Structure 1
Amino acid sequence: MPAPRPRAARPSLYISVDIQADGPVPGPYSVLSLGAAVAGRQDTGRFTAADPEQDTFYRELRPTGTETDPQALAVSGLDRARQTAEGSEPAAAMAEFTACVRAVSEDAQPVKTGYPAGYDWMFLYWHLIRFTGSSPFRHSGCLDMKTMDATKAGVPLRAVAKGTMPRELRSRRRHTHHALDDAIEQAELFANLMNRKGTTHAL
């Protein structure tokens, strides 16, 4: 009996997501802002970069946790008291984000990416499950640019950082710690990494 043919893979739509939070873990601490930008589409054998400013999403959220880390707040510069009064309800913001991801994905599978991805993915996935009951990325649709960078450069993971990248791989944009700015910056970085050919880090 012949082996079954492998099912054709759907394209991937890579979405750069940046989270600004007021602490190290979700639950006790809160997402204060969420920014996202479409980075590009991967079909079999071909990656097509997107204009990172074309399809974006940004919300500032009402805090849900009871604890805060002053150092984390200082990084983002966000005012937790103002967001308690004026921020979007997390359930509404997560539902709007999910709808946005599904709208831009169309026939592709959405994949969240970031540099690094772990911190933002932890907060994003927790909030999606907590407030909407599901994730448009499912449970594993996350690609870490830092791991990808190390793999393509052929160096240990701990040896790579944005500052050690060849200049041609870095985004032309500043990393401002505003969630949308940083999502757009990282979308550009992602496209550069996907199109990388034969460059190495300065170790």
Structure 2
Amino acid sequence: MPARRVKPSRCISVDIEADGPIPGPYSMLSLGAAVAGTQDADGFTPADPEEHTFYRELRPISADFVPEALAVSGLDRDRLAAEGTEPAVALAEFSAWVRAVSVGAQPVMCGYPASYDWTFLYWYLIRFTGESPFGHSGCLDMKTLYATKAGLPLRAVAKGTMPRHLLSRRRHTHHALDDAIEQAELLANLLAWPGPGGAAPAPD
């Protein structure tokens, strides 16, 4: 029997900034995404993460927020209430962008860690567009990927514990697009990494 053809995955690094711990009572304030590359049966082919990107700042959906969470991004809720993109518009534009950059492949949301960003992203997609271009489970958690390859318990993992050659040389700024681009480079490095017993990639 011939081998079943595996449809490639288009890996899309996504980062969100929010003003609280969960969507609904609190709001996603910004959404950044960058195409990290394509994974197929032959491996992963990285892309230039600055080539195909998406960024929107969103109008808050409630009056509630956690000051400490809001302070992480430094976004101005009052400005976003007046100038932010309506969530239904932003998420429809995002879905269209995902489908456009994923022609011929299945889109996969990739995050570090994916749990927080996916929670907000999926909730917003279903709430404001009624569907998700990633389906209900098309996400990859880079933290879990590293823990598995490194042979470590998940809760022992932090970026500060990773070998430096795996990390992007870009700063983590808590600007959603900057961080999506940074984490796209982390994903490419993780997928190329053979694990702690293998050789580190040669420096650029």
Regarding TM over 0.5, the answer is yes
With structure 1 as the length reference, what TM-score do the two structures score? 0.94
After TM superposition, list the pairs within 5 Å mapping 1:113-128 onto structure 2.
Answer: 113-128=110-125
- Distance between the aligned counterparts of 1:156 and 1:71, measured in 2? 28
How big is the shift at 1:66?
A: 2.9
Are 2:67 and 1:94 equivalent residues in the alignment? no
User: Distance in 2 between the 1:65 and 1:109 partners?
Assistant: 33
Once the two structures are TM-superposed, the CA of residue 5 in structure 1 deviates from its matched residue by 6.5
Identity over aligned pairs, percent: 73
Q: Residue 143 of structure 1 corresponds to which residue in structure 2? A: 140
1:153 matched to 2:150? The reply is yes
Superposition deviation, residue 67 in structure 1: 1.1
1:111 to 94, 108, 111: 108
Q: Paired residue for 2:128? A: 131
Runs (4 or more) in structure 1 with deviation over 6 Å come to none
- 1:79 corresponds to: 76
RMSD: 1.2
| TM-score where L is the length of structure 2 | 0.94
Cα displacement (A) at 1:158: 1.1
Alignment partner of 1:43 out of 19, 30, 40: 40
Shift, 1:7, TM fit: 4.1
1:58 aligns with 2:47: no
CA distance in structure 1 between the aligned counterparts of 2:17 and 2:61, rounded to whole angstroms = 14
The residue number in structure 2 matching 1:26 is 23
Deviation of 1:142 after TM superposition, in Å, equals: 0.4
* 3-state SS of 2:110 partner: strand
In the TM superposition, what is the alpha-carbon distance from 1:45 to its structure 2 partner? 2.4
Structure 2's unaligned 5+ residue stretches are 198-204
Distance 1:7 1:87 in 2: 45
Which position in structure 1 is the counterpart of 2:172?
Answer: 175
The aligned counterpart of 1:188 is 185
> How many residue pairs align between the two structures?
197
